[in-house]
Structure 1
Amino acid sequence: MTPSHPHAPAAGLAPAQRARAPWRWTLAVLLAVLLPLAPLWAHAQWLPSSAEEQALDATAFQGMTDTIGERFTGVQSVVVALRGRIVYRYYRDGQPDTLRDVQSVQKSAVSALAGIALGQGRLASLDQPVLALMPEWAALNTDARAQDITVRHLLTMSAGFAVDDPSGTKAPGRPRDAWARPMASAPGQSFAYDNALVPMLMAVLERAVGMPLADYAREQLVAPLGMHEPSYQRGLQLRTEDMASLGQLFLQNGVWAGRQIVPAAYVDAATTPQMAGGLPVSLPYGYMWWVSSVKTPRRAFMAIGYGGQFIWVYPPTGLVIAATSTVPARGPDRGQALQLIRNALFTAAQKRSAGAER
């Protein structure tokens, strides 16, 4: 049985009735044709580029593909967006739709979901105690300080658990086991980069939103931004362009295609130093985003994953750079992506930005 379509009432009219209501019949046909296209309009990811703009983009990034291919051999993909337009792409494998292993860039994606849940009232507050949502964990840790851990402490890497992982690469383990670890300090007292807080926060969010987090992400972030479906089999895997979309969303204060996806106040707090930070990056830390130590009207901020996975956002010129690298990073390749971003790509983007202002 073919279900009726609520937007096509004229389809069931007899010919004589259609003749008396031609505008209704025409409207029904138009809706039947155009409604399936509406999500494409709503999810348009980037501003279009004119032929003139594309020529200027090519001039600004001239020689970049050869430079990356020959000198930055560990870098696998790059997407550069400037003022809402993609101005440069590079894929060593020639596959823009390949899902890339983003490592700890996942943390910043989870932060976005926490902000969305907060804005929807599914999280009562960032200061809500974790045990209010996960009471079954209470018996796992007898240290009274564990009772004071809040969602905010998970987001800012200040939960207080004893952590001995200066490289930031230790496997996170199960949330229940992570909660049972010894406490080293009171929550909120000091920063300690702790991979185990990510699955812990994911479990908290699943409880708060009442569904698997992958489903919530698809509904609230992936679909609205027009991303390709990620993979979660071995951590988070995303297209490089979708990494850039996440950076662009936060650059735009949580707005995408005219819709407030993440509350602006949350985005501001997430990309403002909340903790002094420390190893392995030694930068201030927001809500699972690293933040520049250089004070500007709006600081640069970044998502960083092991081995050279980056979302690098520079608000002064509306610049977003997403890059992925070989995992695990080989010795000579270590640090290549950051060097590329901070030098060649940044210089080319600034050149293009200056040209656009003239």
Structure 2
Amino acid sequence: MFNRLIGVLIIIIISLVGLFMYVYLSREAAEETTWETHTSIEEAGFNPEALEQARTYYDSLNSTAAIVISEGKVLFSWGDVTKNTNAHSIRKSLLSALYGIEMERGSFHLFDSLEDYEIDDQTPLTPIEKQATLSNLMTSSSGVYLPAGEESWGMRLARPNRGSHLPGEFFYYNNWDFNVLGSVYNEQTEADLFEHFKERLADPLGMEDFELADTNYKFEDRRSRHPSYLFRISARDLARFGQLYLQNGSWEGEQLVPKQWVERSTEAQREVPGNTLFDYGYLWWVATEAPYGDLKMYSAVGRYGQSIDVIPELDLVFVHRVDSNRLSFQFARSSVNDLQRLQLLQLIIDAKRREE
């Protein structure tokens, strides 16, 4: 009996040591970064007390990570900014960058149609639906109202009746358009969008956590032949992507994404019914009303509280994450809604000292 207790105690001690080493190494990984960090909150132009209020609010939410890049340096990072978690619909803005690169090379044109690319689905498209263009798909206004992979219940409930709108006529946020963009990209480039992302963006940007093993295609053949292209990616790596766009697609002297595409894709292209703050660009949400419209903010937004918010007028990038991969999330669905996320962002913005 005594020997068994000793054995159990040894196992517990080994487990605790292992846990300590995991936490220690995780912290070491977070500290070992090529991101430059501001040495002082005040010297960076922010009020420390006001930022502490923002941190208190952050702690009251179900957020798991947040990072702010101000003037190209880390202002703060909260939570685990190194963990690769499901980016959800942020994936669409990542794909937008790849399309911009290929368009400059002449591989695609905004007004190429589904018919040009011989796109169809389990339920055959009508001749009218086949006239939807890449521009329509990127602005979520194809007029194709078919089931798609990774659809939320909200998307399904809001889906218009088939044939109720012509291509380009009506904005309906849906994954059919976005997933088809992934299929078109791969088929026409005869490549893999994840590999292109790594070669053309992740590696040149110096992303520290991104791995191809954290990407995958999700096939839901009973809904559609076009898979969802899913990314798991860390907050600090998404911050690099946001900073790239803040710098008009340029990174360390190299133009990774064409400047013209950065500007065009982050301009409002389609009015979003019922949304009083944002319209839609080419796979980006674009703020058009105060206070964020005045700051020329545009955002990549994903389900449950994911975001990259780029604010040119403040030279600032804000990334917010909710780890939907964690076990507790599967039971509680403890997300952060858009109002909460924007309230947190507003507290951070309010902490910035304005020049007199």
What TM-score, normalized by structure 2, do the two folds share?
Answer: 0.72
Q: Deviations over 1:8-34 (max 9, x none)?
A: xxxxxxxxxxxxxxxxxxxxxxxxxxx
Tell me, yes or no, if structure 1 residue 338 matches structure 2 residue 321. Answer: no
Change (3 A) 1:127 1:71: same
Q: Partner amino acid for 2:195?
A: D
Contact 1:68 1:75 in 2 (8 A): no
Provide the residue aligned with 2:308 in structure 1.
311
**1-side partners of 2:193 and 2:335: how far apart?**
37
Q: Which has the larger radius of gyration?
A: 1
**2-side partners of 1:322 and 1:268: how far apart?**
20
Change (3 A) 1:126 1:333: closer
Q: Deviations over 1:298-352 (max 9, x none)?
A: 721111111111111111111110001253674785446414433322222x23x
Shift of 1:184: 3.0
Count of equivalent residues = 295
Instruction: Please list every run of 5 or more consecutive structure 2 residues that lacks an aligned counterpart in the other structure.
Output: 1-32, 219-229
Shift of 1:129: 1.5
Change (3 A) 1:338 1:49: closer
Tell me, yes or no, if structure 1 residue 257 matches structure 2 residue 246. Answer: no
Shift of 1:67: 0.7
Q: Deviations over 1:215-250 (max 9, x none)?
A: 111111111111232422472111101111221112
Shift of 1:136: 5.7
What TM-score, normalized by structure 1, do the two folds share?
Answer: 0.72
Q: Deviations over 1:133-179 (max 9, x none)?
A: 3x2638963522122111111100010023799xx725999xxxxxx
Contact 2:38 2:73 in 1 (8 A): no
Q: Partner amino acid for 2:60?
A: R
Change (3 A) 1:150 1:56: closer
Equivalent residues in 2 for 1:9-88, closer than 5 Å: 46=35, 48-49=36-37, 51=39, 56=44, 60=48, 62-63=51-52, 67-68=56-57, 70-72=59-61, 74-88=62-76
Change (3 A) 1:150 1:332: closer
Q: Partner amino acid for 1:96?
A: V
Provide the residue aligned with 1:192 in structure 2.
172
Equivalent residues in 2 for 1:1-358, closer than 5 Å: 46=35, 48-49=36-37, 51=39, 56=44, 60=48, 62-63=51-52, 67-68=56-57, 70-72=59-61, 74-91=62-79, 95-123=80-108, 125-133=109-117, 135=118, 137=120, 141-162=124-145, 169-170=152-153, 182-227=162-207, 228-230=209-211, 231-233=214-216, 235-278=230-273, 283-294=278-289, 299-327=296-324, 330=333, 333-335=336-338, 337-348=340-351, 350-351=352-353, 354=354
Contact 2:69 2:75 in 1 (8 A): yes
SS in 2 for 1:253: coil
Q: Partner amino acid for 1:147?
A: K
Q: Partner amino acid for 2:90?
A: V
Contact 1:308 1:336 in 2 (8 A): no
Q: RMSD of aligned C-alpha atoms? A: 3.4
Contact 1:172 1:197 in 2 (8 A): no
**2-side partners of 1:151 and 1:287: how far apart?**
10
Change (3 A) 1:192 1:79: same
Percent identity between the aligned chains? 23
